[in-house]
Amino acid sequence: MISYIQKYSEVVRSSSAENENAIKLLYNNHLYKKVVGTLREELELYVRTLYLLNQSDINRQYLLTDFFNNKQWTNDKGKRITDREILEFAGKIKGYGWEQISYRFACCFIHLSILHNWDNEDVTTIIDANEKKTIIDFINQYHGANLNLQSTLVDIMQYALAIFEKIKGNMEYYLDELEKNQ
């Protein structure tokens, strides 16, 4: 009989594989708003898996029960666990903070905002300079880029597929750890 963890892992891997196919098509067609949205979807898989991995067995069971009943995750008191809480948790565990900033940035491409105008103006001048610096520093450090505060969204997008692969690779590592610990 397949365990909840195995089934969860299958769902996450399937979703990630679809994201991988989508991001390549979107990137090759310069549909950067959708590329960022797909990165956000993959980031959600990553942070939720990291969160799940770091829960006690009983809390993990609550979360998986919610997941398989198509409910939002709740804690042992029945209170909804927000995306913000999961992102803050990931930031504390990993000590980076790029997850929250990247997630917030990507949400601006999913929900209607001025960032949808990326192909007519450099929308990176609109975002908070400290947040842009954090994103650029992370890309420079982990992807060998040479971006700076004057870099545009198009400059940043050159690293979208590498960023995706990094997030996916980390998520796969956490899924493997989750499966080992079941």
Can you give the C-alpha Rg of the chain in angstroms?
Answer: 17
Of 53, 65, 42, the closest CA to residue 94 belongs to 53
| pLDDT of 153 above 90 | no
> According to the model, what pLDDT value does residue 182 have?
74
Whether pLDDT at 138 is above 90: no
CA–CA separation, 102 vs 138, rounded Å? 10
pLDDT of residue 71: 94
Residue 4 and residue 146: Cα distance in Å, rounded?
43
Residue 46 has pLDDT above 60, yes or no: yes
Q: What is the mean pLDDT of residues 38-42?
A: 93
What is the domain count for the chain? 1
Of all residues in the chain, what percent carry a pLDDT higher than 70? 89
Show the domain range for 73: 4-180
**What is the pTM for the complete model shown?**
0.88
Q: Could you tell me the pLDDT band of residue 78, with boundaries at 50, 70 and 90?
A: confident
Q: What pLDDT was estimated at residue 80?
A: 92
